[in-house]
């Protein structure tokens, strides 16, 4: 039982141990694997799994029940260890930049807070400090920012449009803002760009949006925390400067306003502000009483000659406590909230994108060596893509995941379904059903309607076969957007085949330019759950 408990704890720890540095490195390694052959990836990832797997009695060992986040964390750690010693991973650069930003904001907060305190309390001895100015500059401004941050959670519960507004108010979607700025610049300068540059730019903006949609919390909360550190240090500096000036200077406090409100009205407002501490520091200690407020009112033509010293100094505990509760303590609470939210965002990572699923599948799938036997008419094309002594994943029938296959109208009747099923089986997929599409508008819309009504709980996604030598049309990209709306976050995989020859309609894609064009076109959609790769590798 102890071993089971330790393994469960370790699995939960690994699941919640993801951070922005890990995500950056994960995306880096995934990008490097794009041009690596599937057989090499299968062999490497299976070896990573076997090297990390231990006996069931040892905590931390990999088992068939290990969840995808923990499997991917093992995979990432293994990839990091096998990287060249002189290679600095991008995640390290990001962590170093984040650390420098944190130090800079801490020092900047202390400097600005203390400087603001010393500057505000530069009392000359003839005019008291107006406490209303202090409250507006150092307390009310922080309350407004706190309310804006709290509105994020409120708006998020009211619906998508309100959530979008809250995200704008709290500056959460930095990547979205960058993408929108880039799109505006692109529209402004697209007349001066050739087609290739314009497509490259659109693809880059799409990748930013795709990354933001699945990792936004992982990247937002570290920035949120450093901003709160700045606020904490700002209030520390302000409190230190205020206490020092009060301790070494004879400072008088008063209040005045062009608006002719009464001392009673101000007392009621001050009493309301002092609620967090008035239960243990009542008036006139925690805040001025009515008589002190009346006695510290400044009348411009009379000056301070007729004002009493006890009334003029009765304000400073209230001002310090206001900064302490509404400034420092509030920032500390937001910092704790940010820490909790960062851990929750890490735990909520599903890693259900096609690339992540492929890694998990390769790690769990055993590899066996096959040899080509005597060729028969039925399997000539299949053996043409499966040479002798090839290491292929061994898939048990019960381990195959169903996928919905979409075939374009022009190749629907001529493709070899048996060969196609064999190819997909090697990747852990079995064809659940097949649909013809891109034949006419009405039938395509009927297919989308069927997808809307389908249950996708156990599905591995949708697999679309396309010919690489035909660039994707605008109508096809539009159809993909409609399909995404119908199936939610279900993976959609585009499998490209080359020009058919005399032996098979499914051939390797020999034209690198065609692959590049397809990849860039799909990147413009900004869809993190869409993947493109050749059906058969050379």
Pairing outcome for strands 390-393 and 367-370: antiparallel
**CB-side neighbour CA atoms (13 Å) of 239:** 18
- Report whether pLDDT(378) > 50: no
* 444-471 exposure pattern, b = at least 16 Cβ within 10 A, e = fewer: beebbeebeeeebeebbbbbbbbbbeee
- Taking residues 514-534, what's their average pLDDT? 85
3-state secondary structure of 532: strand
In angstroms, rounded to a whole number, what is the distance separating the alpha carbons of residues 328 and 235? 5
CATH 3.30.390 for domain 383-534, yes or no, is no
Task: Print the SS3 string covering 51-102.
Answer: HHCCCCCCCCCCCCCCCHHHHHHHHHHHHHHCCCCCCCCHHHHHHHHHHHHH
Q: Show the CA angle centred on residue 330, arms to residues 241 and 255, nearest 5°.
A: 55
- Report whether pLDDT(1) > 60: no
14 band by pLDDT with thresholds 50, 70 and 90:
very low
In angstroms, rounded to a whole number, what is the distance separating the alpha carbons of residues 404 and 406? 7
In angstroms, rounded to a whole number, what is the distance separating the alpha carbons of residues 188 and 194? 14
Proportion of the chain above pLDDT 70, given as a percent: 75
- Report whether pLDDT(272) > 90: yes
User: Which tokens in the block code for residue 290?
Assistant: 């009515």
Q: What is the pLDDT of residues 380-411, one digit of tens each?
A: 433 344 444 445 566 665 578 899 999 998 88
Tokens 């998508």 appear where? 160
Pairing outcome for strands 530-534 and 462-467: unpaired
The four Cα atoms 293, 296, 302, 306 give a dihedral, to 10 degrees, of 110
CA distances from 88 to 28, 96, 100 (A): 12, 11, 17
187 band by pLDDT with thresholds 50, 70 and 90:
low
Task: Print the SS3 string covering 117-146.
Answer: HHHHCCCCCCCCEEHHHHHHHHHHHHHHHH
185 band by pLDDT with thresholds 50, 70 and 90:
low
More confident residue, 224 or 283: 224
524 band by pLDDT with thresholds 50, 70 and 90:
confident
In angstroms, rounded to a whole number, what is the distance separating the alpha carbons of residues 435 and 525? 23
Residue 184: predicted pLDDT: 56
Answer yes or no: are the C-beta atoms of 322 and 273 closer than 8 Å: yes
Q: What is the pLDDT of residues 191-245, one digit of tens each?
A: 555 555 555 555 555 565 667 678 878 888 998 999 999 999 999 999 999 999 9
Tokens 């314009």 appear where? 198
Q: Which of 134, 401, 74, 417 is nearest to 254 (CA)?
A: 134
* φ/ψ (deg, to 5) at 231: -65, -40
pTM to 2 decimals?
A: 0.76
Q: Is 262 exposed, middle or buried (0-12, 13-18, 19+ CB in 10 A)?
A: exposed
Q: What is the pLDDT of residues 137-178, one digit of tens each?
A: 999 999 998 888 887 656 555 544 444 444 444 444 444 554
Residues in a beta bridge with 367: 393
Residue 168: predicted pLDDT: 41
Window from 54-68, 94-108, 461-475, 516-530 with minimum mean pLDDT: 54-68
Give one word for 438, left, alpha or beta, with left for phi > 0 and alpha for psi -120 to 50: left
Residues in a beta bridge with 303: 299
Give one word for 312, left, alpha or beta, with left for phi > 0 and alpha for psi -120 to 50: alpha
First to last CA, the chain: 50
In angstroms, rounded to a whole number, what is the distance separating the alpha carbons of residues 329 and 331? 5
- Report whether pLDDT(294) > 60: yes
Task: Print the SS3 string covering 445-498.
Answer: HHHHHHHHHCCCCCCCCEEEEEECCCCCCHHHHHHHHHHHHHHCCCCEEEEEEC
3-state secondary structure of 432: strand
User: Which tokens in the block code for residue 182?
Assistant: 């880039």
3-state secondary structure of 17: coil
Mean per-residue pLDDT of the chain: 79
User: Which tokens in the block code for residue 243?
Assistant: 């206490």
User: Which tokens in the block code for residue 360?
Assistant: 């998990």
Q: Hey, where are the domains in the chain?
A: 92-347, 383-534
Strand locations in 319-444 (E): 367-370, 390-393, 401-408, 429-437
Neighbours of 8 (CB within 10 A): 12
349 band by pLDDT with thresholds 50, 70 and 90:
confident
């Amino acid at each position: 039982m102890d071993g089971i408990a330790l393994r469960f704890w370790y699995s939960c720890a690994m699941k919640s141990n993801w951070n922005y540095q890990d995500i950056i490195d994960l995306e880096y390694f995934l990008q490097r694997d794009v041009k690596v052959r599937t057989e090499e990836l299968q062999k490497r990832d299976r070896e990573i799994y076997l090297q990390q797997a231990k006996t069931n009695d040892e905590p931390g060992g990999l088992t068939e029940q290990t969840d995808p986040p923990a499997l991917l964390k093992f995979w990432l750690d293994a990839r990091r260890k096998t990287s060249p010693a002189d290679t600095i991973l991008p995640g390290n650069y990001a962590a170093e930049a984040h650390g420098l930003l944190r130090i800079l904001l801490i020092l900047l907060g202390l400097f600005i807070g203390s400087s603001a305190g010393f500057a505000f309390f530069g009392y000359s001895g003839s005019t008291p400090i107006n406490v209303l100015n202090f409250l507006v500059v150092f307390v009310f401004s922080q309350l407004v920012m706190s309310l804006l941050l709290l509105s994020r959670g409120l708006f998020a519960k009211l619906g998508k449009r309100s959530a979008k507004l809250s995200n704008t108010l709290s500056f959460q979607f930095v990547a979205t803002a960058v993408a929108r700025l880039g799109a505006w610049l692109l529209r402004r300068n697209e007349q001066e760009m050739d087609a290739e540059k314009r497509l490259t730019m659109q693809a880059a903006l799409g990748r930013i949006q795709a990354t933001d949609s699945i990792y936004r919390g992982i990247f937002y909360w570290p920035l949120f925390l450093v901003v709160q550190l700045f606020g904490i240090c700002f209030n520390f500096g302000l409190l230190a400067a205020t206490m020092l000036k009060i301790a070494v200077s004879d400072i008088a406090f008063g209040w005045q306003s062009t608006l002719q409100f009464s001392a009673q009205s101000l007392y009621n407002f001050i009493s309301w502000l002092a609620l967090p501490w008035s239960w243990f520091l009542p008036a006139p200690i925690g805040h001025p009483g009515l008589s002190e407020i009346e006695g510290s009112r400044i009348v411009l033509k009379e000056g301070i000659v007729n004002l009493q010293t006890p009334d003029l100094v009765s304000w400073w505990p209230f001002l310090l406590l206001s900064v302490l509760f509404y400034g420092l303590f509030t920032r500390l609470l937001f910092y704790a909230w940010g820490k909790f939210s960062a851990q929750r965002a890490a735990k909520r990572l599903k890693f259900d994108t096609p690339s992540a699923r492929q890694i998990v599948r390769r790690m769990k799938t055993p590899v066996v060596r096959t040899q080509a036997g005597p060729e028969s008419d039925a399997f000539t094309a299949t053996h043409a893509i499966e040479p002798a002594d090839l290491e292929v994943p061994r898939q048990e029938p019960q381990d195959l995941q169903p996928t919905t296959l979409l075939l374009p109208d022009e190749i629907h009747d001529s493709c070899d379904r048996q060969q196609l099923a064999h190819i997909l089986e090697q990747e852990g997929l079995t064809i659940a059903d097949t649909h013809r599409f891109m034949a006419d508008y009405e039938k395509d819309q009927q297919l989308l309607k069927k997808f809307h009504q389908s249950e996708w709980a156990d599905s591995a996604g949708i697999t679309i076969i396309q010919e690489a030598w035909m660039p994707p049309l605008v109508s096809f990209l539009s159809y993909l957007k409609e399909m995404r709306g119908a199936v939610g976050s279900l993976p959609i995989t585009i499998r490209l085949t080359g020009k058919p020859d005399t032996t098979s309609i499914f051939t390797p894609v020999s034209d690198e330019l065609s692959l590049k064009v397809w990849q860039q076109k799909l990147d413009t959609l900004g869809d993190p759950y869409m993947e493109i790769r050749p059906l058969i590798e050379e």
